[in-house]
Amino acid sequence: MQVERFAIQMLLIVGLIIIVGFVAGKLFQRLKLPRVLGFIVLGLIFGSVGAIPPSAIESLRPIVDLALGFIGFRIGSELDVKELFKTSKKLFIILICESIGTFVLVTLVFNLVFGQLYISLIFGAIASATAPAATVEVIREYCAKGELTQIILYILALDDIIAVLLFNIVIIYASPQVAWSLITLFTPLIEIVSAFLLGGLLGYVLVRVEELFKDETEWLILTVASVILCTGMSQFFGFSSILSNMAVGITMENLHAVKIKQFEEKIEIIMLPLFIGFFVLTGAKLNLAILAEVIELAAIYVGARTAGKLVGAYGGTKFANESSKIANNLGFSLLSQAGVALGLAYLASTQLALHGNVALGMLIFNVITASVLITDLFGPLGVKFSLHSAKEVMLDQEMWEEIET
């Protein structure tokens, strides 16, 4: 009886989240703000008043995992391998400058604050990560297309890989008791490659199976089922569902690009309720009390990270001889942080706690949590600004054409 009652409560909460979240998103659109802000703010309110208890958030974790899977698939489906190889040199320069630049700047700033290099290195490594979810949602909302949008998607696909590798190197230095070994150092790299292999294999099988069908609806059903299956398998093996589903999208895009375009709009419709649930639950997990406790350190972290992303992206694009449109706007699209940053902060707190630094571990986790609350609110605004400034918002394309003529 209790299990049945709990299931009913979960259904009621999910229905409430999607309906009220949808309305909140529309209200924010009326205010000329990205609808993702409406989802997050609603979740923040629900979480603060106890409308979504922590037990419900944990029970609804599959919604979060599935939304991340579709985010990865969406990014992958936009990546053309041939085009990626053509721009690989420029992209590598931009990626290194914005990620390593942020890592270095945040590390230097926090070294001035704490005077201890190992703490500063942890903050620097976490700062290099960028959250794809909110950025992809804003790109979807404004139907953005163009050179800047494509570079943003490439950076999102690779940024967190750099962050994970940096963090793994740093945490070994920060925990002297941990022995240096090739296995310890390359474990994240092995997991990343494994996630891509899993997704690539599933994507290849999906393409071959779809060749047996000709109906667009059948392709859609198989694709959605494959994302769900890939997400489940990723969770089972402990891989990133974003990376594995990204590989599914890349494989489909480059083996059967036409098919994805044919039912892309239907996939977007399926993704919207998941996205609403994901961002409302994300907002509900954020804690205003933690923000009040570490507001000064969070402000320093956000300020240093923002400067690092803006300066690093600008410098990288200039070194790569990209246009002013890209140089002036890319950094504003890379300000959001969420899942990966929180995950790395949690790992840091766990690792430090094992060696007696419980208070320091909790401090790092609380500062990153508070900063995520801040960047979740202004990050989407940065993406909107950059897309409009670059004139890549397709909803306004006719207006831009009239201006130019």
Q: What is the pLDDT of residues 279-298, one digit of tens each?
A: 888 778 766 776 677 888 88
Range of the domain at 300: 62-278+285-394
For the chain, the distance separating the N- and C-terminal CA atoms, rounded to the nearest angstrom, is 68
Q: How confident is the model at residue 137 (pLDDT cuts 50, 70, 90)?
A: confident
Asked if the structure places residue 40 within a domain, the reply is: no
Q: What is the pLDDT of residues 153-172, one digit of tens each?
A: 888 777 777 777 777 777 76
CA pair distance 39, 24, nearest whole angstrom:
6
Q: How many domains does the chain have?
A: 1
CB 316 within 8 A of CB 95: yes
Q: Helices 2-30 and 35-49: crossing angle, nearest 10°?
A: 140
Q: What is the pLDDT of residue 224?
A: 87
Q: How confident is the model at residue 238 (pLDDT cuts 50, 70, 90)?
A: confident
CA pair distance 84, 156, nearest whole angstrom:
13
**What is the domain-level CATH number for residue 171?**
1.20.1530.20
User: In terms of Cα–Cα distance, which of 243, 164, 155, 162 is closest to 202?
Assistant: 243
H helices of 178-287, where? 182-210, 216-237, 241-255, 257-262, 264-285
As given in the structure block, the two tokens for residue 171 are 């945490």
Asked if the structure places residue 224 within a domain, the reply is: yes
Entry field: residues in the chain: 405
- For residue 354, pLDDT over 50 is answered with yes
**Between residues 180 and 209, which one has the greater pLDDT?**
209
Most confident of 121-135, 220-234, 251-265, 310-324: 220-234
CB 138 within 8 A of CB 380: yes
Most confident of 4-13, 176-185, 208-217, 325-334: 325-334
- For residue 304, pLDDT over 70 is answered with yes
CA pair distance 226, 232, nearest whole angstrom:
10
CB 281 within 8 A of CB 55: no
Asked if the structure places residue 20 within a domain, the reply is: no
Quote the distance between the C-alpha of residue 28 and its chain's center.
21
Q: What is the pLDDT of residue 229?
A: 92
Residues 6+ apart with CB under 8 A from 328: 314, 389
Q: What is the pLDDT of residue 183?
A: 53
- For residue 176, pLDDT over 60 is answered with no
Asked if the structure places residue 139 within a domain, the reply is: yes
Q: What is the pLDDT of residues 22-48, one digit of tens each?
A: 998 888 878 877 777 788 788 888 887
Q: What is the pLDDT of residue 399?
A: 43
In this prediction, residues 307-312 reach a mean pLDDT of 89
The string over 331-363, giving b where at least 16 C-beta atoms fall within 10 Å of a residue's C-beta and e elsewhere, is: bbbbbbbbbbbbbbbebbbebbeeeebeebbeb
Share of the chain above pLDDT 70, in %: 85
In this prediction, residues 211-228 reach a mean pLDDT of 81
CA pair distance 238, 180, nearest whole angstrom:
23
Asked if the structure places residue 376 within a domain, the reply is: yes
Q: How confident is the model at residue 395 (pLDDT cuts 50, 70, 90)?
A: low
CA distances from 226 to 61, 129, 264, 268, 393 (A): 19, 27, 15, 16, 30
In this prediction, residues 364-382 reach a mean pLDDT of 80
Q: How confident is the model at residue 356 (pLDDT cuts 50, 70, 90)?
A: low
Q: What is the pLDDT of residue 230?
A: 92
Q: What is the pLDDT of residue 60?
A: 83
**Between residues 344 and 65, which one has the greater pLDDT?**
65
In this prediction, residues 193-216 reach a mean pLDDT of 83
> pTM of the entire structure?
0.70
CA pair distance 265, 269, nearest whole angstrom:
6
Asked if the structure places residue 115 within a domain, the reply is: yes
User: In terms of Cα–Cα distance, which of 252, 238, 257 is closest to 343?
Assistant: 238
Mean per-residue pLDDT over the chain, rounded: 78
Q: What is the pLDDT of residue 315?
A: 86
Asked if the structure places residue 17 within a domain, the reply is: no
As given in the structure block, the two tokens for residue 87 are 């721009």
Give, as one character, the DSSP assignment of residue 396: G
Q: How confident is the model at residue 397 (pLDDT cuts 50, 70, 90)?
A: very low
Share of the chain above pLDDT 90, in %: 2
